[in-house]
Structure 1
Amino acid sequence: MMGTPNSYRCVADRFDVGKGTAWRCVGKVVNALYLHLDKFITWPNREKAEEIWTCIKNRYKFPKVIGAIDGTHIKIATPKLHPEAYINRKGYHSIQLQVICDHELKFTHVYAGQVGSVHDMRVFRLSGFENLCTEQHFPENSHLLGDAAYSIQKCIMVPFKDNGHLTNAQITYNTRLSQARMMIERAIGLLKGRFRSLLDTLPMRRTDLIPKYIVACCILHNICINHDDYIDVPVIVQNECLQNVAQNVIQGLREEGVEKRNTIMYYLQNENYNL
Structure 2
Amino acid sequence: MYFVQDETATFIFVLELLTPHLQKHSEKFGRHPITPEKQLLIAIWMMATPNSYRCVSDRFGIGRATAWRSVMKVVNALYYHLHTFIKWPSLEEATATWTTIKNRYGFPKVLGAIDGTHIKIAAPKKNPECYINRKGYHSIQLQVICDSSLKFIHCYAGQVGSVHDMRVFRLSGFQNMCTEENFPENSHLLGDSAYGIQKYIMIPFRDNGHLTETQTNYNKIYSSSRMIVERSLGLLKGRFRSILDTLPMTRTDLIPKYIVTCCILHNICLLHNDIIDIPIIVNDGQNENHEIIDSATKEEGIQKRDFIAQALLNRQLFL
Q: TM-score range by the shorter chain?
A: over 0.9
1:31 equivalenced with 2:92 (yes/no): no
- Match for residue 186 of structure 1? 231
Deviation at 1:236, TM superposition (A): 2.9
1:251 equivalenced with 2:295 (yes/no): yes
- Match for residue 40 of structure 2? none
Q: Deviations over 1:67-107 (max 9, x none)?
A: 00000000001101110000000000000000000000000
How far apart, in 2, do the equivalents of 1:194 and 1:180 lie? 23
How far apart, in 2, do the equivalents of 1:247 and 1:26 lie? 39
Q: Deviations over 1:168-187 (max 9, x none)?
A: 11011001010000000000
How far apart, in 2, do the equivalents of 1:152 and 1:98 lie? 17
**1:9 paired residue among 32, 43, 54:** 54
How far apart, in 2, do the equivalents of 1:239 and 1:3 lie? 21
How far apart, in 1, do the equivalents of 2:284 and 2:142 lie? 18
How far apart, in 2, do the equivalents of 1:45 and 1:22 lie? 39
Secondary structure, aligned partner of 1:148: coil
| More displaced stretch, 188-197 vs 233-242 | 233-242
How far apart, in 2, do the equivalents of 1:92 and 1:250 lie? 32
How far apart, in 1, do the equivalents of 2:202 and 2:251 lie? 36
In structure 2, the gaps of 5 or more residues are 1-45
Deviation at 1:246, TM superposition (A): 2.0
Deviation at 1:47, TM superposition (A): 1.2
The one-letter amino acid paired with 1:211 is P
Deviation at 1:234, TM superposition (A): 1.4
1:272 equivalenced with 2:291 (yes/no): no
Secondary structure, aligned partner of 1:99: strand
In structure 1, the gaps of 5 or more residues are none
- Match for residue 260 of structure 2? 215
Deviation at 1:242, TM superposition (A): 3.1
Mapping of residues 138-177 of structure 1, within 5 Å: 138-177=183-222
Deviation at 1:241, TM superposition (A): 7.1
Deviation at 1:238, TM superposition (A): 4.3
How far apart, in 1, do the equivalents of 2:276 and 2:282 lie? 18
Mapping of residues 48-59 of structure 1, within 5 Å: 48-59=93-104
The one-letter amino acid paired with 1:255 is E
Secondary structure, aligned partner of 1:2: helix
| Contact 2:164/2:286 (8 A) holds in 1 | no
| Contact 2:189/2:201 (8 A) holds in 1 | yes
1:73 equivalenced with 2:118 (yes/no): yes
Secondary structure, aligned partner of 1:253: helix
**2:171 paired residue among 108, 122, 126:** 126
How far apart, in 1, do the equivalents of 2:249 and 2:85 lie? 25
1:201 equivalenced with 2:246 (yes/no): yes
TM-score normalised by the chain length of structure 1: 0.98
Aligned length in residues: 274
Question: In terms of Rg, which structure is larger?
Answer: 2
| Contact 2:116/2:284 (8 A) holds in 1 | no
| Contact 2:117/2:282 (8 A) holds in 1 | no
TM-score normalised by the chain length of structure 2: 0.84
How far apart, in 2, do the equivalents of 1:223 and 1:186 lie? 17
Secondary structure, aligned partner of 1:179: helix
Please report the RMSD computed on the Cα atoms of aligned residues, expressed in angstroms: 1.1
How far apart, in 1, do the equivalents of 2:99 and 2:207 lie? 29
